[in-house]
Structure 1
Amino acid sequence: MKWRGRRGSSNIEDRRRMSGGRAAGGLGLGGLIAVLAIGYFLGIDVTPLLNDPGTSGAGGGEITEADRQAGEFVSVTLADTEEIWADIFRQELGQRYEPATLVLFKGATRSPCGGASGATGPFYCPIDKKAYLDTDFFVTLGRKLGAKGDFAAAYVVAHEIAHHVQDELGILGEANKIRQQASQAQSNAISVRIELQADCFSGVWARHAGARFGSIEKGDIAEAMNAAKQIGDDTLQRNAGQRPMPHTFTHGTSEQRQRWFATGYKSGNIDACDTFSTDRL
C-alpha cells in the first residue's frame, strides 16, 4: 500500500502517552498476544487472566518509532476513508458525511461504550462516534493470526470506519435496537449481518481508494482477503481448539467475510452491500 508522504487526518485523538497499560508477567509476549486475540474475536473477557498477581501497572510509556509509524499509517488511512466516503455520500446519496474520530491508545483507555483494551480489540462506539484502536493489535494480526501486511492493517481501520458509515446511514442504530429485544442467538445473527456489511463497505472503500489515490499495490487485496479469512469466526474457533458453533458467531465465517469484502471491492457500490435483505450470507 502506498501511503508514505500522503496527507493524514486531523480527526485523530492520540491517547498513547496517557493510556494506562498492563502487561501480564507470567504469559510472555507471545502468550499475551494469543490471549488477547482469542478474547477479542471469541467475545471472551480475558481481563481476569491478565490481572493476576504477577501483573504490574505501566503507563502509556514512551512512543517508539514503531508506534510513531503506526500512528502515521492510521492517520493516512483514516484520511483516505474520509475523502472516499465524503464523495460517496455526496454523489450517490446526496448527503454530507461527518467523519469519525479515531482514538489511538496503548494498553487501555475509556470510552462511553465501556473500557477499551487489548482484550476488546478495535471497535466503534456509536455513543461518541469514535473508533478505538490500540495499534499493537497490528502485531497480533500479523504474528499470531497470520494476517500480515499493511493493507491487512488498512482493512482493520476501514472496517471500523465502515461501522461509522452504518451509523451515519441509520443502519447501525436500527439493527442494535432490534438486537436489544432479541434472544442471544438472534442478536448474534444480526451482529453477523452488521459485520459482513462492514466488510462489504470496506471493499467499496478499497475499490475507490485504489482508483483515486493509486495507493493499492500488487498483493494488497490478497492481504485484505487473507485477513478476512483469518478472522472468520469458524477459523478462530478452530484455531482455539474448539468445534465451530454457528449460533455463537458474531462476525461471520471466513468464507462469508471474504465474499462480502470481495463483493464490495468488485462492485464499488454500497447498494451491493445489503446483508440484511439477502437470504444467502
Structure 2
Amino acid sequence: MRWKGRRQSSNVEDRRGRSGSGGSFPGGFGRSGGRIRLPMGGGRRAGGGLSGIIVLVVLFFALRACGIDPLEMLAGGPGGSNQTTTTQGQGTSGASDEMKQFVSVVLAETEDTWNGIFESQGLDYKEPAMVLFTDSVRSACGFASAATGPFYCPGDQKVYLDLGFFDQLSRRFEASGDFAQAYVVAHEVGHHVQNVTGILPRFNQMRQRMSQAEANAMSIRVELQADCFAGIWAHYTAQKGLLEDGDIEEALNAANQIGDDTLQRRTQGYVVPESFNHGTSQQRRTWFARGLKSGRLADCDTFNEPI
C-alpha cells in the first residue's frame, strides 16, 4: 500500500507503555462484554428477527435528513461518548514510530471513505478514535488484554489495537503484508459504521433474548458485514491508486486465515460449526471481495441474503 507521506488521522490515542490495571479476559477470542473483535483462536441460518436490518441504514439516513438524531434513540447504555479527538499519550516509540504512522494513515483513509459516503447522503460521519495499547487496556466495555486481539467498543466508539497483534498475524496466522494489517483496521472501523447506523445497538439488544447458538449465527452476519464494509474501503482506496501488486491478495489471505474453521483446525485440530461466530474462511473472503467489487452499502446486506 502506498501510504507514506499521506495524511495521518488525528483521532489516535497512544496509550502504549501504560498499565491497563485490572487484569484481562479469559478465553481468548470471540465476543464478550459488548466488544466486537477479530477472532484469534456456516453456522445455521439466523432467525427472522433481524431479517430487515439493512432497512435501519436507510431509516438512519432518512431520519437524519429530517433533522432527527437516531443515535439518541438507539444509544442505550454508556454509548454516548463524543470523544473522537485525540489526547496524545506517551507511546513507547514516540511520534516517529512507523507502525503508528501506518495505522494512523489507514484510519485517515477510512475517514475519507466514510465521510464521503455519508456526505453523499447529506450526513455527517462521526469518526471513531483508535487507541493503541500494550498488553492490556481499559475501555468503556471493560478491561481487555492483548490476547483478545483488536476490537471495537460501541460504548466509547473506539477501536483498540495492540500493534503486537500484527506480528502474530504474520507469524502465527501466516497473513503477512501491510494490506493485511490495513484490512484489520478497516474491519474494526466497519463495526463503527454498524454502530452509528444502528445495526450494532439493535443486535446487542436482540441477542439478550437469543440462545447462544442463535447469537452465534447472528454474530456471523454482523462480522461478515464488517468484512464487506472493509471491502468498500478497499474499493475506494484502489480508486485512489494507493494499492500495490499483491495488496488485495494479502487482504483476502488475512480474511481466509482468521475464518472460524481455519482457526479451529489450527488451534484444536477439528471444526465445531455450531460454535462459529465470525464466519468461515470462504464466507469472509466472499464478503470482503463483494464490498471491494461494488463499493456499495446495498451489496453488504448479510442479513437478507444467504451467506
SS in 2 for 1:258: helix
Deviation at 1:42, TM superposition (A): 9.0
Q: Distance in 1 between matches of 2:244 and 2:292?
A: 14
Count, aligned residues: 248
Aligned pair 1:135/2:163, yes or no? yes
Identity of aligned residues (%): 54
SS in 2 for 1:141: helix
| Aligned residues of 2:20 and 2:138 also touching (Cα < 8 A) | no
1:189-228 equivalence runs, <5 A: 189-212=217-240, 214-228=241-255
SS in 2 for 1:6: coil
Aligned pair 1:244/2:268, yes or no? no
Q: Distance in 1 between matches of 2:303 and 2:161?
A: 27
Q: Please list the CA deviations of residues 101-124 of structure 1 after superposition, one character each: whole Å capped at 9, or x if unmatched.
A: 000001111011121221111110
Q: Which has the higher contact order (CA 8 A, sep 6+)?
A: 2
Q: Please list the CA deviations of residues 112-160 of structure 1 after superposition, one character each: whole Å capped at 9, or x if unmatched.
A: 1121221111110001101100010000100100000000000000000
| Aligned residues of 2:220 and 2:277 also touching (Cα < 8 A) | yes
SS in 1 for 2:156: coil
Structure 2 counterpart of 1:264:
291
SS in 2 for 1:39: coil
Residue 28 (structure 2) aligned to one of 36, 39, 64: 39
| Aligned residues of 2:257 and 2:263 also touching (Cα < 8 A) | yes
Q: Please list the CA deviations of residues 196-233 of structure 1 after superposition, one character each: whole Å capped at 9, or x if unmatched.
A: 00000000000011213x21111000000000000000
Q: Distance in 2 between matches of 1:99 and 1:106?
A: 23
TM-score (norm 1): 0.83
| Aligned residues of 1:41 and 1:231 also touching (Cα < 8 A) | no
Which has the larger share of helix? 1
Q: Distance in 2 between matches of 1:18 and 1:41?
A: 25
CA change 1:173–1:20 in 2 (3 A) is: closer
1:103-118 equivalence runs, <5 A: 103-118=131-146
| Aligned residues of 2:17 and 2:90 also touching (Cα < 8 A) | yes
SS in 2 for 1:116: strand
Q: Please list the CA deviations of residues 26-47 of structure 1 after superposition, one character each: whole Å capped at 9, or x if unmatched.
A: xxxxxxxxxx9x922598xxxx
Deviation at 1:189, TM superposition (A): 0.6
CA change 1:123–1:253 in 2 (3 A) is: same
Q: Distance in 2 between matches of 1:152 and 1:176?
A: 28
Residue 209 (structure 2) aligned to one of 181, 202, 212: 181
**Gap regions ≥5 residues in structure 2:** 33-88
Residue 162 (structure 1) aligned to one of 179, 184, 190: 190
| Aligned residues of 1:194 and 1:275 also touching (Cα < 8 A) | yes
| Aligned residues of 2:15 and 2:90 also touching (Cα < 8 A) | no
Structure 1 runs, 4 residues or longer, greater than 6 Å off: none
**Gap regions ≥5 residues in structure 1:** 22-35, 44-59
Q: Distance in 2 between matches of 1:239 and 1:72?
A: 32
SS in 2 for 1:240: helix
| Aligned residues of 1:42 and 1:237 also touching (Cα < 8 A) | no
Which residue type is aligned with residue 63 of structure 1? T
CA RMSD of aligned residues (A): 2.3
| Aligned residues of 1:108 and 1:115 also touching (Cα < 8 A) | yes
Structure 1 counterpart of 2:116:
87
Which residue type is aligned with residue 81 of structure 1? T
Q: Distance in 2 between matches of 1:124 and 1:169?
A: 15
Structure 1 counterpart of 2:80:
none
Q: Distance in 1 between matches of 2:173 and 2:242?
A: 25
